[in-house]
Copies of this chain bind each other. A is one copy, B any other.
């Protein structure tokens, strides 16, 4: 009775279309899927406990802290924090109410809004970062061998290239900025 219809077929492929997953492909996909679903809540839990912000808000503060003048236009910030503009607007409202960021129209283009990290915001992420990085190490980095880390870099780039080319471009622009700043 155990007919599988969701990701794989027991029977040989009908005609290569639809293309079901091989056993190893299925195992890789299920593993990725489990990470996709379990990792964000695990990271959120630590941040929520230690600082009362979620992972997306951390990304906002982190991106600002790494920027010249600790300032970015909202649209750039959305890309760096991996979120939509709408999501960023809502989150920025929350962070602004806490006094951790401020927003103001840009001189020159007043339809562009620039977000800046306040001193209180700087202190907040400075306090949060060590704990968070430690958790990232514990859950991901230290669980992998150096070879796996290298493989993960390639996998991330390949998947992003097909799933969201713009995100890959963001990633690359950020790497360049990092290299230049050291």
Identify which of B18, B65, B167 contacts A134 (C-beta below 8 A). Answer: B18
**Interchain Cβ contacts under 8 Å between A and B, 14 examples:** A2-B67, A6-B66, A19-B133, A21-B137, A30-B156, A30-B174, A31-B153, A31-B157, A34-B168, A35-B159, A42-B163, A42-B164, A143-B162, A151-B152
Number of copies: 2
Given the contacts A18-B133, A148-B158, A150-B24, A163 and B69 also touching, CB distance less than 8 Å: no
B129 touches A181 (CB 8 A): no
Minimum CB distance partner of A56 in chain B: B37
Measured between beta carbons, the chain B residues less than 8 angstroms from A35 are: 32, 36, 156, 159-160, 163
Interface string of A118-159 (1 = CB under 8 A from B): 000010011001110110111111111000111111111111
Given the interface contacts A5-B126, A42-B163, A137-B19, does A156 sit within 8 Å of B61 by beta carbon? Answer: no
CB of A2 to closest CB in B, whole Å: 4
CA distance A173 to B66 in the complex (A): 43
Residue A82, interface by CB 8 Å: yes
User: Would B171 and A7 count as touching, CB distance under 8 A?
Assistant: no
| Measured CA separation A25–B152 after assembly (Å) | 9
Interface residues of A (CB under 8 A from B): 1-8, 10, 18-21, 23-40, 42, 58, 61-63, 65-70, 82-83, 122, 125-126, 129-131, 133-134, 136-144, 148-164, 167-168, 170-171, 174-175, 178, 181-182
Contact of B163 with A3 in the complex, beta carbons under 8 Å: no
B6–A171 CB distance below 8 A: no
Of B10, B39, B40, B151, which one neighbours A182 at CB under 8 angstroms? B10
- Is the beta-carbon distance between B62 and A7 smaller than 8 angstroms? yes
Shortest CB distance A37–B (Å):
4
